[in-house]
Amino acid sequence: MRTAASFEIEYLQYLAPDGTLAAPLPPAVPDAAALLPIFKQMLFLRTFDGKAIALQRTGKLGTYAACLGHEATHVGIGASMQAEDVFAPSYREYGAQFARGMRPREVLMYWGGDERGNLLTGAPAHDYPWCVPISTQMLMASGAALSFKLRKQNRVAVAVCGDGGSSKTDFYAAVNSAGAFHLPLVLCVVNNGWAISVPRKAQTGAETLAQKGLAGGLHCLQVDGNDLIAVLEAMRRAHERARNGEGGSVIEFLTYRLHDHTTADDARRYRDDAEVKAAWEKEPFLRLRKYLADAGLWDDAQEKAWIEACGKRVDEEINAYLNTPVQPVEAMFDYLYAELPEDLQAQRAEALAREGRA
């Protein structure tokens, strides 16, 4: 019997859950000090996340999707990108978005839309609008990557979906196009264990989600997504391949959703408490804090001062959000198309007429 094909999926982990090195530092991280500014971004993100949840609980924000537990993956993805690259996220990757120039107030404006009528119109020009459904963004990114190749631009497109999103046809189409056209594309699958209430084991029979990229001929990695060092190294490898004309990558980041899917969800109805407790022991912030403290780069006084600074900055963003005037009704039409289709022109006129502004 002959073997038509065989494969292995490499797994990356450098920082163990107890905060000690499981392997020597990789090229992406020359020394422990290089991690400090990114760690501070993670702490800012956790501060923002907690205050956003509080806003929702007090009726000042619509539904909100927390990113608790995802900080290393999200911030690491954003920190690895160049300004000229394109980012196509879904709805939870605030850490990467902040690194790309998105302001926290704009995230709040999106989630506050149902309550306050706000529309997000200030996304950075080099990125797609930040919130798109499930996995269509993977195809958007593959289109951007194709344009980079045709124009001979040394740029990379990065897209993010969840474990559930990797089961969608958009994801598979992006994988196929990236392989067929040899695109500078990095497809990031953030596997947090749950597609809302559907567990990973019920979504696919594949041993890993990373291996889904093999069918398209892409380079595939599985990464400890709670290990910032591993995230940075995986992204470094993928970007290097893309910029050197070696094609696209699929990276599966293993992490865990420590909060409910959104503030409209109650994960206690489908998740076991023991599972969540075990996940807290592997979360990204504590292990990195211990590593930096052991290296003499972080202490309680620094953390207290930085948390205070983060709180002030987030409060400024919250106040800017709360003081933002409600957008006029026509804004929902004016920022959709360069040239508004006739049927939407009629709807726009009707909306204005109802307000007596025809």
Active-site annotation, residues: 257, 261, 270
Q: Which among 226, 147, 207, 213 has a CA at the least distance from the CA of 183? A: 147
Pairing of strands 185-191, 194-195: unpaired
Q: Which residues make Cβ contacts (< 8 Å) with residue 32, sequence separation at least 6?
A: 25, 291, 292, 295, 297
In sequence order, which residues have a C-beta less than 8 Å from that of residue 87 and are 6 or more positions away? 78, 81, 96, 97, 100, 127, 128, 157, 158, 159
- Give the 3-state secondary structure of residue 75: helix
The b-or-e profile of 271-286 (16+ CB within 10 A means b, else e) is beeeebeebeebbbbe
Residue 325, both tokens: 């005037």
Measured CA angle at 17 (ends 14, 21), to 5 deg: 35
- Determine the Cα–Cα distance for residues 180 and 174; give it in Å rounded to an integer: 10
